Chains A and B, each alone.
Chain A
Amino acid sequence: MGIEYLILLLLVFMLFALLIAVEARDLLSSVISVGAGGFALSVIFLLLGAPDLALTQVVVEVVALVLLIRLVVTRHDTTAETPRDALRTGVVLLAGGVLLVGVFVAVGGTGAAGTVPRLGEPVMATADLAAGQTTPGQPVAARYLARAGEETGAANAVMAVLLDYRAYDTLGEATVIFVSILGAYAVLRRIGRRGRKEATI
């Protein structure tokens, strides 16, 4: 139970940091606050039993922060002048209320059928590993955990899932980063069309 309170505390911290990031007038403080939120998230990942994610989140956060801080500090326009769009804020608040009510109903906390299971009791825990051919629809994750070591030879079940059972997804993942970097190159060409002067306002 103790860990859950810690997570709750970190989440509250994270929410505040992110609210500051969204509302701060100064763009640099906004970017740094979102970094603080990201680091809190990586600690939460660690507490939730996901060291792979914690490590990845930290290093990604560092690189993303470097990119963003560089973007902001080397430009002159450093404050957000116009705060918000009233109509859109209203729409978001309305949608948000509906979403939160939906979540409350869907999660429920009762663990009844047709709702999201209670925190700490993942659907995987209902798996019957010995279930053979007769009971279809067993959650796959328990099977990954039980047999990953012998079937793939990887002690780290996350890597076994990522690079063996579901390696095709990881091909997609590698391609995503390839695409977005190519996309960044494409956008950064100074001249897109031949015979046209670079126009700046």
Chain B
Amino acid sequence: MTSGMTPIVKNTARLVSGFIAIFGIYVALTGHISPGGGFAGGVILAAAAVLIVLAFGRQTAEKMITESGCHLYDAAGAAGFLLVAVFGYLAGGFFVNFLARHGVGTAGRFWSGGTIILSNLFILVKVAAGLAGAFLALAAFRRAHMPDGHPGEES
């Protein structure tokens, strides 16, 4: 998969992946008022990354999406969600909806739900980065038998 696919596929992928990514973010951010949510949005966003890896090949794709970047965002998203829980101590305890203490807004409006938007956002980042990183790592194992003398793992 060094060269990727044909130019037609590449151009289409370049065009479509942007739309897919925006749709994923939209699904995540409106999770509290319509079907969807951070997890579905994150998987959609990851699907955009998967499309790029498939169309352009791993080498090219790694210039846009690096594995260590995925690790970092993955950890940051998870930690962010945990922080939402810990910030609940400000309002009384673990996982208390600390933004909702001064009113939760009207159900059905975008600015409602307190921490739910925040949680959805963090889950979006976490799931998207995690799945994209995992796909990159899996894509590295395309050939069953690696040639000898491949670089060893760094510790």
Q: Do A and B touch, yes or no (CB under 8 Å, in the complex)? A: yes
Query: Which of the 9-residue segments A29-37, A88-96, A161-169 touches chain B?
Result: A161-169
Contact between B97 and A63, CB atoms less than 8 A apart = no
Asked if B119 CB lies within 8 Å of chain A CBs, one says yes
Asked if B82 CB lies within 8 Å of chain A CBs, one says yes
Asked if A59 CB lies within 8 Å of chain B CBs, one says yes
Q: Which of B44, B107, B112 has the most CB of A within 10 A?
A: B107
A188 to B133, CA, bound (A): 12
Asked if B134 CB lies within 8 Å of chain A CBs, one says yes
A70 to B39, CA, bound (A): 23
Task: With both chains docked as a complex, state the minimum distance between the C-beta of A187 and any C-beta of chain B, in angstroms.
Answer: 10
Contact between B141 and A188, CB atoms less than 8 A apart = yes
Asked if A131 CB lies within 8 Å of chain B CBs, one says no
Contact between B130 and A191, CB atoms less than 8 A apart = no
Asked if B46 CB lies within 8 Å of chain A CBs, one says yes
A156 to B115, CA, bound (A): 14
Contact between A162 and B37, CB atoms less than 8 A apart = yes
Contact between B113 and A153, CB atoms less than 8 A apart = yes
A64 nearest CB neighbor, chain B only: B43
Residues of chain A within 8 A (CB-CB) of B78 are 174-175, 178
Asked if B140 CB lies within 8 Å of chain A CBs, one says yes
Contact between A167 and B37, CB atoms less than 8 A apart = no
Q: Contacts A59-B43, A184-B138, A190-B146 hold; do A178 and B113 have CB atoms under 8 A apart?
A: no
Q: Contacts A185-B137, A188-B140 hold; do A153 and B107 have CB atoms under 8 A apart?
A: yes
A158-201, CB under 8 A of B: which get 1 and which 0?
11101110011011011101100100110011110010001010
Asked if A67 CB lies within 8 Å of chain B CBs, one says yes
Asked if A62 CB lies within 8 Å of chain B CBs, one says yes
A180 to B44, CA, bound (A): 18
* Contacting residues of chain B (46-71) with chain A, CB-CB under 8 angstroms: 46-47, 50, 54
Q: Contacts A60-B43, A66-B50, A164-B97 hold; do A177 and B116 have CB atoms under 8 A apart?
A: no
Contact between A163 and B142, CB atoms less than 8 A apart = no
Task: With both chains docked as a complex, state the minimum distance between the C-beta of A184 and any C-beta of chain B, in angstroms.
Answer: 5
Contact between B134 and A152, CB atoms less than 8 A apart = no
B133 nearest CB neighbor, chain A only: A181
A134-169, CB under 8 A of B: which get 1 and which 0?
000000000000001111111110111011100110
A75 to B138, CA, bound (A): 13
Residues of chain B within 8 A (CB-CB) of A162 are 37
Query: Which of the 9-residue segments A9-17, A48-56, A122-130 touches chain B?
Result: A48-56
A39 to B90, CA, bound (A): 43
Residues of chain A within 8 A (CB-CB) of B141 are 188
Contact between A181 and B130, CB atoms less than 8 A apart = yes
Asked if B25 CB lies within 8 Å of chain A CBs, one says no
A189 to B152, CA, bound (A): 10
A194 to B153, CA, bound (A): 9
Q: Contacts A56-B39, A63-B47, A76-B144 hold; do A164 and B115 have CB atoms under 8 A apart?
A: yes
Contact between B100 and A153, CB atoms less than 8 A apart = yes
Ordered by A's residue number, 10 sampled pairs between the chains whose C-beta atoms are within 8 Å are: A63-B46, A74-B143, A76-B144, A153-B113, A155-B32, A158-B37, A164-B115, A167-B84, A177-B130, A184-B137
